[in-house]
Structure formats: C-alpha cells, structure tokens
Amino acid sequence: MNIWDRFVSSWREFRKDGYYDEFDYAWTMTIDLDRCTGCGACVTACQAENNIPIVGEEQLGRGREMQWIRIERYWEGEYPNARLKFIPMLCQQCDAAPCETVCPVTATYHNQDGLNAQVYNRCIGTRSCAVYCPYTVRYFNYNDHRWDAPLEQQLNPDVTVREKGVMEKCTFCVQRIRQAKDQAKDDGRRRVRDGEVQPACVQTCPSEALVFGDRKDASNRVSKSMNDARAYRVLGELNTQPSVIYLKKVDADAD
Amino acid sequence: MGVSIVPTLKVLKPAARIVLVALVGIAVGYFANAAFFPGTKPEQPIAFSHRIHAGDNEIPCLYCHVQARRSISAGVPSVNKCMGCHAEVAADRPQVALLTNYWENREPISWIKVHDLPDFVHFTHKRHVAAGIECQTCHGPVETMEVVSREAPVKMGLCLDCHRKNEVQYGTDCWTCHK
Amino acid sequence: MANVDRREFLRLVGAGGVGAGAGFMLAESIKHPVEYLIPYPVPPEEFSPGIATWYNSVCGMCPAGCGISVRTREGRAKKIEGNPLHPVNQGKLCALGHAGLQVLYNPDRLTGPMIQNGERGADEFVKTTWEDGLSRTADRLAAARQDGIYFLTQGVRGHLANLFELFMGELSSDRLLHYDFAHPHALYAANKRLFGEHQLPYYDIRNTRYLLSFGADYLTNWLSPVHHSLGFGHSRHGNDGVRGRFVQIEPRMSISGAAADEWIPARPGTEGFLALSVAHRIVADGHYEGDDAGEWRKALSAWSPGRAASLTGVSEATISRLAREFARADPALAIGGGAAANHTNGVDNLVAVSALNYLVGNIGKPGGVVFNPEPVTGASAIDRQANYRTMQKLVEDARDGKIDVLIVNNTNPAFSLPLASGFREAMAAIPTIVSLSSFIDETTLMADVLLPSHTYLEGWADDMPEPGVGFPVGAISQPVVAPLYNSRSTGDIVLDLSGKLGFNEAIPWTSMEDVLKDGWRRIYERGAPEPGDFDSFWRDVLVSGVWGENVRRGDSVTIAPGAIEGMAVSEPRLAGESGDYPFILHPYLSSSMYDGRGANLPWMQELPDPMTSIVYGTWVEMNPVTAKEMGLTDGDLVTVTSGTGSIEAPVVVFPAIMPDVVAMPIGQGHDALGRYARNRGANPIEILAPETDSASGNLATSATRVALAPTGRRATLVKTGGESRQLGRGIVQSTGSRSSRGHSAKLNSIPIVVEVAESAVVESA
Amino acid sequence: MQTEEKQLQFTDIHDDVVRSLVVTGRNYYIALGCAIFVTLACFFFPWFYQLYYGIGAAGVNSPTVWGTYLASFIFWIGLSHSGTLLSCVLHITNSQWRKAMYRSAEAMTLFSLMVAATMVMVHLGRPWFIHWAVPYPNQMELWPNFRSPLLFDVMAITTYLTGSSIFIYMGSIPDFAAVRDRTTGWRHHMYTLLSLGWRGTDTEWHRLGWAYTFLAVLIIPLAVSVHSIVSWDFAMSIVPGLHQTIFAPYFVVGAIYSGTAGIVTVMFVLRKYMNFEQYITKLHFDNLGKLLLVLSLLWSYINILELFTGWYSGTSTEYEQLKYKLFGFYAPLYWEMILFCGVAPLLLISNKFRTSFVPMLALSIAINIGMYTERFLIIATTLSRQYLPESWRVYVPSVVELSIIVGSVAMFVTLFLIFVKIFPSVSIYEVKETMKIPKREGVPEWQTTH
C-alpha cells in the first residue's frame, strides 16, 4: 500500500457509515446513573487492574490525577433541597473520536472492535488528543512514577507500565478482552460469550450500575440495557458517537 | 578577482580530512563493540548445549519447554525436570555435576534471557505453537547452537512480515500485540 | 594523503580515537539490559508461569466479611475481586477491599519480631527472633496475676475467636476484649431490648419497596455496605419494574443520602422522636391492626407529630407523609445508625426505629427484618465486644496497676478513643504490652514486644459473617501467597504461646490450619454428612471459598414483653453549652479509610472523597449560609474546639448539612502507621467528649458541641473536582419516574438502537 | 540627522556594509556573550532538566495540557511572517523603500522559524521520537496520521523554512560576491563558497532576477497557508473557544501584525547600532507604521467578532468561555492584550508618532508583548474551561517555562547577532539600484519618494 492509498483509506474508511459493522465486536458499556452510588469501588478496581500509578499529594495538588475512571459530582439546589448526583466518567471509546484525528503519529486509533486504542510506545507526547477530547479522560504521564518497594509486586503483568511523556487512558481492559478471545479460540468458539469478559470496574460495581458487552448481538445484556428509554449519551450533541451509554437518573418525585 | 573556489577548497582540506577520520573511527568503534562484546550471546551459569539436546539427541523443544503449549511464556524447565534424565544420563560430566549441585542445594539456576521482548509487547507462545509456527522462525536454528544466541532480530518488522504473510486475522492491529 | 606532517598526523589520530570511543559508547548504550529466567527447583503442582491462579478467601478489611477471589501470577497476588459464590457480596467488592493488596505489599509492614529498646513511643525497636519474642511474652504471661492479663483484639469471628477464648481461659483471665471503633453496640442493645435477640437480624434491602433510613449510611459503612449496595441496585430497577423508594434522615448528607430519593435533615439524636411520631401516625390512622394496637396507641399517645416536629426540625406535614407512605408501601423497612445510634440516647432511637418494622409487620418477611440462625461457631465473640465503658474499665485497671500484660491484636484504640479517655496515659502504666499487629500504629508504638502477624492474605482463619444473610454462612480465609516476611498468622502465634505455657491438653493443635480442620470437621458432621469424606468437603469449601446451609429461623420472633410500655426516647445530651460551643460535631466514617485503618494505603489516600472529591486530608463541612455568616470559604483553616481539646482543619462549604452542625471525616490524623498515614490531616475522635449511651455503654460520637475559630491562615485543599455545578449542560440527565417507561431512546437524532435480528422484529411487532 | 544630508556614493555603501561585517566593536562581543550565556542558562539548562524529569517540570496539568511552550511556538511562527512575506509583496509591487530593510526582515523570518521549531521540541513529551511525525518508508509500514493538523503543520513549516532560506540566500549572492572581493583571510574563503562563484555577468543577473521574482510569488501563498494551518491545530478541535471558522484569518492577521512590529524593532536596533542611519530612515518607519495601523484595526475587528460569536451561540459552553475570558482568572491579561494591540496602536494615526523612532520602538515592543499574551490566552482560557465543569482547573506557568521563554528570546538574539556579522544586513546591490548613475547633487531619489 503506498502512502496515497493509506492517506485515502485512513481518511475515508473510518468515516464511512457502518464501517465497523463488518467486524466481530462492538464493545459497549452502559452506566445506570440511577444505580450508581458514587462509592468509588470502580476507581480503585481500575487502578489495581491497570497499573495506574500513585501520583502523590503534591502532583495531585497540581491537578495531575491519574484515574482512568473517575467519579464526577454535580450539586443541584440549595439546602435543605440540595441534591447530589454522581456520574462515572471514563474514556467513551467514541466511534467518531476527535482524539484519533489529531494524533500526528497515529498512537491513538480505532480498532476493529470499536475500541479507541492508545499505543503507549508510539506516543510522542504532543498531548493534542487530551485537548481534543471533550470528556477530558486522557491522562498524561508528567513524570516517571515509582512504587515504594514492595508495592511494585502488585503490578499486573498483562498491562505495561507507562513511562514519562506518554498519554494513557481507559482501554476497556483490553487485556481481559484479549484473554477472553484467546479462551474462545481454545474452545473452538468464534465469538466471546456474553458476560465472559468484564472490565475491572464493571466486574466490581457493588450496585451493578455498569453493564459491559458486545452490542452486535441484540440478545446481550448490554444491548437490552442500551435500548432502555432512559439511555442517553453525555455531550451527545457533539456527535462523537460514544460507546459508553448512560441511563438517566430517575427523579421519583417528577413525572 | 578571486572567483575560483579552488584555493578555498585547499584551505578546507585538513579540516575535511579530520572529520572523515573521525567518522571512520565511530564506525570502527561501533562494530568493535558489537563484535567483541555481543549482548546477544551471553555466558550461562551452566554451559548448556542445545546442539547436544535438541540437535544430536533430537529432544523436541516442547519436551522441556512444556509451558509453550498452554501459556504465554514458554518457561524454562525446572531443575528437577533436568534431573529427571540427568540423575542417570551423563551424570559424570562436569557441567551436569554443576546441575546436580544446584539440585542438591535446591537452588534455582538463574539463566540469562537471550530472547527478550520489551514490556509493552504481548506475545503468547500458546497461540503461535497452536498455529504450528516453527520455534526456529523466531529463535533461529537453536538445535545447531552450542551456545544460544539471538540470531533473527526479534523486532516489530519480523512480527508484522509474518502476520501479513499468513494473513493473521487482525494481525496488523496494534492492540493485537501492544499492551 | 602524502603531505601529512607530524602535527596533522596527531590531529588525525586524536580525531580517530575520539570517534572510536564515541562509537563504542553508542553501541554500548543501545545494548539490551541483562534479564534472568529463574525456574523453580521444584515447581508447585498448580503453578505454571504466565497463567493466573485464583484463590478464594475472606476479606479482612472491615467486619462485613465479604468473600474474595485473589488473582495470583507467578506466586504473587495481583488483584482482589469479590467471590461470585459468596452470598454476602456476590462477586462485588468495595474500594477498601481492593486496597487489601496494599496491606500485603505495604512498604511499612513489620518484617519480623521486635522488642522496644528505649522508652515507649520512641519507635526504637530492634529485631529479635521468634524464639526470643515468644519466650519473653510467655514468661510475662506466666508471671501475671489472676485477671492481670488483657487480650485486646480487633473484632474476630469463627474459630480464631474460640481459640482466643480457650487461650484466655487457660490463662484464667476473663479479660478478652474485641474492640472495633465502629461496632454497632446500640443496634445490638436495641434488638435485645425490643426482640430479646442477642444477634443482629438481616435487613433485606434488596426486596424492600420503601426504605426509611434514620442516619444509617448503609451504602458506605453500616454493617455490610457491599451487600446493601447490591440490594440498593436491585431495588432500583430489579424488582419487576417497581422502583424502590429510599428516604434518608440525617443531619449531614451521606453517600446513602445522595443516593436516596429524599433526603431529610434532622437534628442529631432526635431521630427517635421522629420514628415514634411516625409510629404514632401509623397507629392513629389505623394502619396497624395488631391485637396489641391498644397498647401501642397508649404508649405512643405522647408522641404526636407536632411535638416531634418541634424537637427534630422536620415539618409535621413531612412526618405525616412519611408515615402514610411507610404504612402503604409493602414491604417497607426502617433502619437506624450513624448519628441516631451513636448518641446518648442511641438505643432508644434504634428501638423506636425497629418498632416501625414491627408496626408494618415486616418481621421475618422478605423485604423486612429477617432474624438469623445462631452462627455455627464463634458466637461468643458477640458478647465480648468492648464498648466505651469496657475500655474505660481497662483504663482504670491500668491506672490502678491491675494489668500486668496487655496483648493487642491489630486494633488501634490509641487512635480511635478520645483523648479524654486517657487511654494513652493508661498504657504507660501497663508493665508489659505485646502487639500482634502487622504495622506500627499508635497502639503498637507503645508496645514492648512486637510479634507481627500475617496479613489476612497470608494466614489461615475463617469467618462467619455477622449479621448473616438469613441462613448460616461461613468461609475459610486461606493463604493466597507465601508469607512475604518473617511474620506468623495470629492463630499460630497464640498456639506458639500456649505451647510455651504448656496448655497442650486444652489446646492440642500445632497450627491454625489444624484448628480450622478440627472445627470444620465438626461443622461437616453437624449437618447431614453428604456423600464424600471430610477431606473432599474441606477441599470443596476451600475451592468455592464459601460454605452455607439452607437453614432458616424456625421460631417467629416477636417483641419482648413490656417493650411497648417502655417505648420512650430520652432527650439527647450534648456535651458543652450552646453559648460557648455553637456547633454540633458530626464525625463520620470515611468511605475510604473506614475507622482509620485505610490511611496507610496509597490507593485509599488518592481515592477522592465521593462527596467533596478531596484527597489526602481532613476537612470540616459547613452549611453555606453559616459559612457565609462567619465569612469562611473553602480552604480557610479553622480551629475546631470542644470541651476536651481542639484540632485544625480547612473548611469545606457543603450544601447539604444542617446550619448548626459541622461534619468531619474520621480516618486521618495519624502520628504513626507509616509513611502514607503519618502527619496528615486531623483526627476528630481526639476531641470528642466522653459522653456515652447509658443503655449500651457506647461512645456517643455525635454528642459533642464544638466552636469554630478562624485561624486566618489558608490550607491547600487537594481535590480532583473543579466546578460541581452542571450549568445546564445536561451532563447528568434525569427523567421522571413515569416517563422512564417505553423503548428505543432517541437523542439529538442519534438513535441508540442495535440492529435487531429479523425474528426479534417479528416478535416485537 | 546630519548623516542623511551627506551625499551617498556607491563606494559608501560597500564601505558601510563591509565595515558592518569586518569591524567589530567590544560592545558586540559583550552583547553576543551575554546572549549566548542567557541562551544556555535559561533555555538549554531548564530544557535538559525537563527532559530528565518529564513535562511535569512545566506547570501544565489536566485539562490544560498545553502551555506556554505552544504559545511561544505560535508566537515565533507569527513573528516569522511578514519578514519574508512582506519582502515578497513589496518586491513584486516593486516598492523602493523595501530594499534597505528586507534582508534583516527575512533573517528575522528565518530565525524565528528556527526558534519555533525548537519550541516544538520543548513542547513534546518524548522529543527523541519526533522523527515519527515524518513519513519515511519502513518495514513496519507505519505512517504518520495524514488526517492530523499537526502533521500539516510539520509539512507547512518545513516548506516555509526551506522556501524562505533559499529566498534570503539567493538574494544575497551578489552581495556575498561583493564582500568576497573586499575581504581577505578566512572571510574571503567563506564568501568565496557562499557566493557560488558569482561574476556579475548579465546572464547571471537576469537569471537571479527571474528566479527571485518566481520565488517571491511562490512564497506569498505559502506564508499565508502556514499560519492558517497552525490555526487549524486549534480550530479543528471541538473545544469551545477554539472551534471557530474565523481562526485562520485571525492567526494570519495576528502573525503579520506581530511580524511587522518585530521588523520595526529590529530595524530600530540595526539603524542605531550598525550605523545604517542613511539607509533605514523615517520613511521606513512611516510606511511600516501605516501598515501596523491597518493591521491593528483588522485584528480588533476579528477579536470583536470572536466575542460576538461566543455571545450569540447562547450555549453554556461558549458563554462560560466568554465570561471566563473577560472576567475570569486570566482577565487582567486579556485587557492588557486589548490595550497593547487594540488601543495603543491607534496612536499611529498621527504622522508625528509614525516618524519618531523611540515611540515607534516602544509601541512595536508593546504590540509583541500583547500578541504573546493573545497566544497564551488562546490556550489557557479555553483549555481550563472545557465541557465538563468537574474537570475545570486553572493553569499557571512554572519557573522552568518562564525561563525557557526568556531563553528562546535570547536564542533569537544570538542567531541574529551572528547573522549580522556574516550576511550583509543591508542589500548592497538593491540599494545601488535605487541610485542614479551618474551621481548628481542632492540625496538619492529613493529617499525623496514620498
């Protein structure tokens, strides 16, 4: 393939409507805001699974937190009618991701599973993807992080440790997806079963607010839950077509 | 009017010469290092010969590296695996004596890794063995080596060539190998 | 090249040499670093490199007793997840549970036995051998007087509890105390008074349609948070389309308050009045037709909503509405905790709350209060729980020199008791203190001999969750990794000691594993022994990580005689005059650090507080109006002064807290416990007045009045959140309860629908 | 001034220019020394520290992941405009007054482009992999992302750099020859190489003239495209405040604006310290002043337009953005920018102001400060007010960043100081062209054409 062909294909293909339909999977997550209690279990589960470093008080103070999934909180009303609403915010794995268009070295791209991939060792640290991302869910390694021995023994061998100057973000726990596909191959199945693969956050959510799966198959749990009447996309007006779909919080006292 | 640049070139000649020699020097130094201190052929705690085992005695790779069939890592045989044969076989040889020594002290042998991939690469022996890829494609003709050395450059290009040639499904997707 | 003079030649040689050196270094610099492949001499049978092995065990991070599965690779624990088979947490786990790994791999763990070498608290410990440490302890124990030995342990259950009993029995000392700061003493007392039960019932949040929570933060730290979260989630949309309603009544909005459909602020300690007035309405409106309705009407006659409204600050209309909704909903459930329980009238409050359950007749019903059968073993521990009064007794004994040896096991009263209790001074009066803790916390710092115990991931133990889930459940906590350091499991240490003391006939075992095997053999024989010998049973329990029997409580529990007449709530006492101390201090358990044990785990330190997004630190939550009046804003450092002490902390303006209440999270403010915890934030427990609940002896943590004085300085509040208002951007969207029915959502003309197979279309059409 | 009354001879020009190359005062060396020192101490030292520690050495945070480095990059790119661009336009329109100043202007383009390139390196998290942004064939068949505006940037800037360096070099060949013939020693050798054996035959002159004009025509659209593309780095995002169609013209205008101001500054310095009073005169300042006035008006217009779109959009995102810019944390900077780039330049309406040197210098510097602020605000105000309010966070540059900004200026100065000693900073032959032969009484006519 010469440069021109690549240029044309990379320009057009991804933008073709239903380009991803021809592939096997379209991994999707739904988050039921009516179930989410904001407890933060997903955050720690993610940190444990994905070797996310401890950045320390000083760096946090400078606004350099590292949490691939974070809990955002929004107050409404004033005392005594104040209400607090939580929303877990993670990489939305957009099908039309702004971050993918801007990376000059294609360190971030869309793969055939509908995942918004980030290749750490290709990243040169322009940080433009973080600027283009309207959800600000991309996190940059401002410096090398170290684990006080023996904390490094906890590191997950299936996930690499990112060096300074590299952008990182939620991967939908691609190592688990990889694992599940591998299993499926061993069992001679073509596809991964529903519920066979779950990202760390989904796996642990105590109130089962998070559902993960492949929306290609209408019988999957995630397909059902994303067809719920309460389904919506955060900042949907931007038409980034996220693969993370939220279910509206129910206000019991309103119609 | 001195339009001609010949005199100028004369003036520059010695400088050019020095630069030239320096460049040659760099090349020489580089290759000297690579030739006399190769990192790809380290000296192992026991002078284990793949030629004798895999070559002359034709022991299949997977006999010792059992894990390769079912795990991402091929694994090195445990000491008692070695002793399984060497309790009797060639027990008198000095190198085997070393082995028995390790065994008696229940000490692990710290082999030096020859074929090593960076931390960010996800390579699973299992899938490649299952796909019937010869070990030699990446590890070189180990059965002929007295001391194992890294012959084939195990670099991204090698992987991709093979994935393209065999039309691996999604074989060129970055996330197939990068973690 | 002919005309090269000497100088020229030297230049060339120089250049060549430098070049060669540069080249050499270049080649060196890009060389691959040496790495090693180290095989086992003899590999364990289930081990294979590159393949993860999962072990089921029990979480030891809080008393809930969730089941966990630990993922190990190459013999190292990599991740903790919930055990899907365990009925308590059903595969789920909270943040603190995940952080268990950092207890195991904590850089500040004790690596072996030590002895204090210098005066106490100086942190001048020197390494020693187990032999030495154990014999020292044994000698002191042998020399101790009758009842001169105190064994102070964290709340443990199962066979370890029994072992402690035996051990103390052999030492002929009755001073075995299980001490947990957050132990729900009031709840136990209330159940005893109302139902005559000495165990906690199971509150079935999962199946309830209406939950009335009086201050119980059931989603964060009340009894069994993960189990309750599961119930909450299910009740939201799981119960065949009917969405449960949750009402939270508390002075400061907790996580459960945020999750509730309705949050009602009420003065701390007055929740009981509210409950009684609700009961009053229920009975008055004739929603209750028990044959003892008359008694109830009499007992409750005094508690009209009007009176309660004036006491609690909740409007009469609201009370009546609550009563109506609560009575109509079926099943409905009322629970109590937090400020309601931890007050001078805590037991009264909780009795009143439980009365509601009785009145709507949900006792023993799904979605109501289900009483648990007797735990299969270790029940004695329930009566061994040390409340504030017992700890006071300990302090006095210590002062009077009645204590010869104090053994502390992984509990930290020096941190979790108010300064007013005088515990720290009292410890100085105890000749010998032995600590079995894995870390040097405030209490261990005062010890003479450190016999570090394993973390819960390295040693043997077992656990019977209390409260259970309505039927007997047990799980074995097995070692998932080889011990990292030269520590021993708590059970083994006790066994070693008893061995040294020659208790062999009473305590015959040599290892905790044997203790468990014996105990579980009894459990195995207790139920009808299934086919297959004990060993397979034992293996099955270890593999599945949980054991249970389908045995329910046969007898129907009803209220104790005389409970109705005695139905009354005493006025809450508050330490300090409202004149000098205008605010009521409401300390609450931090969601990430529980009672302070999580403070040495970096993950927990960096987990933003759900309500304020603050990390690394303590803060004081204030009502916006009050803050405005005092001219305080986020980050202003204030001194919080009570009658018994004062601490400093930055102000956080908190939209959902009563104007005369200030709230502070518990957990920070350690002066020991390692690099991550030390000298960070402040500990609100320190300044609590020693007010107790006469009925339960429980420390009334919400009964202290405080004064706030601005220091004029500002502290940097490290928080991950920015502006916490939506500004009409529709980020968290909400919908009405009715309009949330129907299908195929559309928004901004992007339909979110998956391609449905033909057949499915036909069906739906 | 006196010197301007003096009659100008052909030889004078030669003498003056060659003097400016050969004769070097102590002050020059002091200046050069300082410049080099500052460059090392304030640019390279902090940069190496940053390479060692990571980008964390700067004040950037999430979500404001871009900082002053990128602002400086745009600033220098901006400065590079109107050097070559202006020179080309004036060459084609064949205006006389250009000829004395264009070489220094073009040099400015060249050097600010170089500095801009270094700013990119400083900005990157892993600059040692910068070559991945270049499409070169490789076994992996890995290519850069052709959809990325950043890649367009790389292309555009390199092209512009090549173009303008060829342009300036070609223009100075005859002068190199001229100097070659009047110097000895190593200088002679150097200029022998540089002048590529220029003899001055008619064919040579003809070819030069043709090629020069050709390049000039080529470079004008190139220059315009460069800054449009730089603006796309921002405009092609969907960040409120950046996602605007006006950005391309906005950036180009801004660029020419700051560039022209830059020229004024440089010309003042040259005039004063290289004694080019006879060549760089009131006239130049007057004309550039007019140009500046026009540009400032354009610039103000676009700024007002930007505010309007923000207000008119009516969406919370844009509106908050607007409020934040005008009254938020960075508001003082914003108003400073308006003062320096929008209000102060209105002084240029008066002839007296335009033709008096020191005020012009002051104004030109003020404008460039203002323009730097603009670039900074474009990044800081927008990124710190993104879509999700929970992620809002203020960004304050760190010491390292500030020091590197200072250092980059010093680097620019260094390069320029070296330039004036190698290149004839006033074009000998073009100035001659403007003089009548045979000489007659009075001043050369190019000084009287206004």
Of D389, D391, D393, the CB nearest to C727: D389
How many structural domains does chain C have? Answer: 2
Pairwise CB contact (< 8 Å): B124 & A182: yes
Contact D376, D71 (CB under 8 A): yes
For residues D95 and D294, the model is more confident at D294
The residues that bridge with A67 in the sheet, in sequence order, are: none
Pairwise CB contact (< 8 Å): B120 & A112: no
Give the pLDDT confidence score for residue D446 in this predicted structure.
52
Per-residue pLDDT at C218 exceeds 50: yes
Is B22 within a domain? Answer: no
For residues C670 and C48, the model is more confident at C670
Of D316, D317, D393, the CB nearest to C722: D393
Is C176 within a domain? Answer: no
Q: Is the link from the previous residue into D137 a cis peptide, with omega within 30 of 0?
A: no
| Structural tokens at position C282 | 């229920």
Shortest distance between the Cα of D207 and any Cα of chain C, in A, equals 40
For residue C656, give every residue at least 6 positions away whose Cβ sits within 8 Å of its Cβ, in sequence order, or none: A79, A80, A82, A83, A84, C252, C253, C257, C258, C263, C265
Domain of residue C318: give its range. Answer: 185-370
Q: Which of residues 206-245 of C touch A (CB under 8 A)?
A: 219-220, 225-226, 229-230, 232-234, 236-237, 243, 245
* Average pLDDT of span C381-386: 90
pLDDT in tens, D249-296: 999 999 999 989 988 998 888 888 877 787 788 888 998 999 999 999
Shortest distance between the Cα of B179 and any Cα of chain A, in A, equals 6
Q: How far is CA A199 from CA A29, A50, A68, C299, in A?
A: 10, 10, 12, 55
pLDDT in tens, C435-459: 999 999 999 999 999 999 999 999 9
Which of A173-182, B167-176, C176-185, D342-351 has the least mean pLDDT?
A: B167-176
Per-residue pLDDT at C746 exceeds 60: no
Give the pLDDT confidence score for residue C747 in this predicted structure.
42
Pairwise CB contact (< 8 Å): B127 & A121: no
* Average pLDDT of span C156-161: 93
Which among B11, B13, B21 is the top mutation candidate for probing chain C, defined by the most C β-carbons within 10 Å of its own β-carbon?
Answer: B21
Pairwise CB contact (< 8 Å): C236 & A35: yes
Question: Looking at beta carbons, which residues of chain A come within 8 Å of D125?
Answer: 123-127, 140-141, 164-167
Give the pLDDT confidence score for residue C748 in this predicted structure.
38
Contact D97, D446 (CB under 8 A): yes
Pairwise CB contact (< 8 Å): C724 & D389: yes
Split at pLDDT 50, 70, 90, the class of B44 is: confident
Per-residue pLDDT at C743 exceeds 60: no
As a three-state string, the secondary structure of chain D is: CHHHHCCCCHHHHHHHHHHHHHCCCHHHHHHHHHHHHHHHHHHHHHHHHHHHHCHHHCCCCCCCCCCHHHHHHHHHHHHHCCCHHHHHHHHHCCCHHHHHCHHHHHHHHHHHHHHHHHHHHHHCCCHHHHHHHCCCCCCCCCCCCCCCHHHHHHHHHHHHHHHHHHHHHHHHHHHHHHHHCCCCHHHHHHHHHHCCCCCCCHHHHHHHHHHHHHHHHHHHHHHHHHHHHHHHHHHCCCCCCCCCCCHHHHHHHHHHHHHHHHHHHHHHHHHHHCCCCCCCCHHHHHHHHHHHHHHHHHHHHHHHHHHHHHHHHCCHHHHHHHHHHHHCCCHHHHHHHHHHHHHHHHHHHCHHHHHCHHHHHHHHHHHHHHHHHHHHHHHHHHHCCCCCHHHCCCCCCCHHHHHHHHHHHHHHHHHHHHHHHHCCCCCHHHHHHCCCCCCCCCCCHHHCCC
For residue D315, give every residue at least 6 positions away whose Cβ sits within 8 Å of its Cβ, in sequence order, or none: D240
Q: Is the link from the previous residue into A150 a cis peptide, with omega within 30 of 0?
A: yes
Q: Is A123 on the interface with B (CB under 8 A)?
A: no
**What are the strands of the beta sheet with C473-477, ordered from one edge?**
C461-463, C473-477, C547-548
Pairwise CB contact (< 8 Å): D389 & C728: no
Give the pLDDT confidence score for residue D5 in this predicted structure.
45
Rounded distance, CA A109 to CA A90, Å?
17
pTM to 2 decimal places: 0.92
Q: Which of residues 182-201 of D touch B (CB under 8 A)?
A: 186, 188-189, 192-193, 197-199
Q: Is A9 on the interface with B (CB under 8 A)?
A: no
Contact C474, C546 (CB under 8 A): yes
Is B10 within a domain? Answer: no
Exposed/middle/buried for D178, CB within 10 Å: 0-12, 13-18, 19+? buried
Q: What is the ipTM of this complex?
A: 0.91
* Average pLDDT of span C248-262: 95
Is B19 within a domain? Answer: no
Rounded distance, CA B40 to CA B42, Å?
6
Give the pLDDT confidence score for residue A16 in this predicted structure.
66
Question: Looking at beta carbons, which residues of chain A come within 8 Å of C659?
Answer: 79
Pairwise CB contact (< 8 Å): D139 & B8: no
Per-residue pLDDT at D440 exceeds 70: no
* Average pLDDT of span D107-115: 92
pLDDT in tens, C73-130: 988 999 999 999 999 999 999 999 999 999 999 999 999 999 998 888 888 899 999 9
Give the pLDDT confidence score for residue C749 in this predicted structure.
38
Which among C720, C723, C726, C748 is the top mutation candidate for probing chain D, defined by the most D β-carbons within 10 Å of its own β-carbon?
Answer: C723
Handedness of CA A184, A189, A192, A197 (dihedral sign): negative
Rounded distance, CA B175 to CA C179, Å?
51
DSSP secondary structure letters along C575-609: BS-TTT--EEEEEEEBTTTBTTTTTT-HHHHHS--
**Quick one: which of C325, C259, C327, C323 has its CA closest to C290?**
C327
Which chain C residues have any C-beta within 8 angstroms of a chain D C-beta? 613, 721-729, 731
* Average pLDDT of span C21-26: 88
Round to the nearest angstrom and report the end-to-end CA distance of chain C: 95
Nearest CA in chain C to B28: C20
How many structural domains does chain B have? Answer: 1
The owner of tokens 């409340």 is C387
- D394-429: b (≥16 Cβ within 10 Å) or e: ebebbebbebbbbbbbbbbbbbbbebbebbbbbbbb
Of B17, B24, B34, the CB nearest to C19: B24
Give the pLDDT confidence score for residue D181 in this predicted structure.
86
Angle at C315 between CA C313 and CA C318, to 5 degrees: 130
Q: Is D49 on the interface with A (CB under 8 A)?
A: no
The owner of tokens 């508390």 is C250
- B36-55: b (≥16 Cβ within 10 Å) or e: eeebeebeeebebebbebbb
Pairwise CB contact (< 8 Å): D139 & B12: no
* Average pLDDT of span B22-26: 91
Handedness of CA A6, A12, A15, A19 (dihedral sign): negative
Question: Looking at beta carbons, which residues of chain A come within 8 Å of D60?
Answer: 127, 142
For residues C223 and D12, the model is more confident at C223
The residues that bridge with C81 in the sheet, in sequence order, are: C69
Shortest distance between the Cα of A57 and any Cα of chain B, in A, equals 28
Q: Treating both helix axes as pointing N-terminal to C-terminal, what angle do C305-312 and C271-284 enclose, rounded to 10 degrees?
A: 160
Give the pLDDT confidence score for residue C219 in this predicted structure.
95
Pairwise CB contact (< 8 Å): D142 & A106: yes
Q: Is D141 on the interface with A (CB under 8 A)?
A: yes
Question: Looking at beta carbons, which residues of chain D come within 8 Å of B3?
Answer: 192, 197-199
pLDDT in tens, A108-166: 998 888 899 999 999 999 999 999 999 999 999 999 999 998 999 999 999 999 999 99
Helices assigned H by DSSP within C400-505: 413-416, 423-428, 442-445, 490-501
Pairwise CB contact (< 8 Å): A235 & D387: yes
Nearest CA in chain C to B77: C39
Give the pLDDT confidence score for residue C706 in this predicted structure.
96
Give the pLDDT confidence score for residue C759 in this predicted structure.
40
Domain of residue B72: give its range. Answer: 50-76+111-177
Is B166 within a domain? Answer: yes
Nearest CA in chain B to D200: B3
Per-residue pLDDT at C42 exceeds 90: no
Total CB pairs under 8 A between chain B and C: 127
The owner of tokens 């969405």 is C243
Q: Examine the fold and report which residue of C370, C393, C420 is the final residue of a domain before the chain moves on.
A: C370
Nearest CA in chain C to D319: C727
Q: Is B79 on the interface with C (CB under 8 A)?
A: yes
Question: Looking at beta carbons, which residues of chain D come within 8 Å of A6?
Answer: 143, 146
CATH code, domain carrying C280? 3.40.228.10
Contact C259, C658 (CB under 8 A): no
Which of C58-72, D240-254, D260-274 has the least mean pLDDT?
A: D260-274
| Structural tokens at position D137 | 């064939």
Give the pLDDT confidence score for residue B171 in this predicted structure.
87
Cα A200 from chain centroid? 11
Q: Which of residues 179-238 of A touch B (CB under 8 A)?
A: 182, 185
Mean of the per-residue pLDDT values for chain C? 90
Q: Is B126 on the interface with A (CB under 8 A)?
A: yes
Contact A27, A242 (CB under 8 A): no
Pairwise CB contact (< 8 Å): B178 & A185: no
Q: Is B37 on the interface with A (CB under 8 A)?
A: no
Each residue's pLDDT expressed in tens, for chain A with a length of 255 residues:
565 676 676 566 655 666 666 778 899 999 999 999 999 999 999 999 999 999 999 999 999 999 999 999 999 999 999 999 999 999 999 988 999 999 999 999 988 888 999 999 999 999 999 999 999 999 999 999 999 989 999 999 999 999 999 999 999 999 999 999 999 999 998 889 998 999 999 999 999 999 999 988 888 999 888 888 899 999 988 988 899 999 999 988 876
Question: Looking at beta carbons, which residues of chain B come within 8 Å of A185?
Answer: 127, 130
Total CB pairs under 8 A between chain A and D: 156
Chains with at least 3 CB pairs less than 8 angstroms from chain C? A, B, D
Pairwise CB contact (< 8 Å): D238 & A135: no
For residues D264 and C3, the model is more confident at D264
Contact C478, C513 (CB under 8 A): no
Pairwise CB contact (< 8 Å): A143 & D236: no
Give the pLDDT confidence score for residue D450 in this predicted structure.
43
| Structural tokens at position B169 | 């499904």
Helix (H, G, I), strand (E, B) or coil at A147: coil
Give the pLDDT confidence score for residue A17 in this predicted structure.
65
Q: Is B45 on the interface with C (CB under 8 A)?
A: no
CATH number for the region A12-247 comes to: 3.30.70.20
* The CATH number of domain D26-131+145-439, selected from 3.40.50.300, 3.65.10.10, 1.20.1630.10, 1.10.1840.10: 1.20.1630.10
Q: Is A186 on the interface with C (CB under 8 A)?
A: no
Give the amino acid at C499: G
Q: How far is CA D147 from CA A134, A206, C642, D230, D251, in A?
A: 19, 42, 64, 14, 21
Mean of the per-residue pLDDT values for chain D? 88
φ, ψ dihedrals at C695, nearest 5° = -75, -30
Q: Which of residues 13-42 of C touch A (CB under 8 A)?
A: none
Is C174 within a domain? Answer: no
Cβ of A36: how many Cβ atoms within 10 Å?
27
Give the pLDDT confidence score for residue C744 in this predicted structure.
47
Pairwise CB contact (< 8 Å): B160 & D140: yes
User: What is the Cα Rg of chain D in Å?
Assistant: 23
Give the pLDDT confidence score for residue B5 in this predicted structure.
76
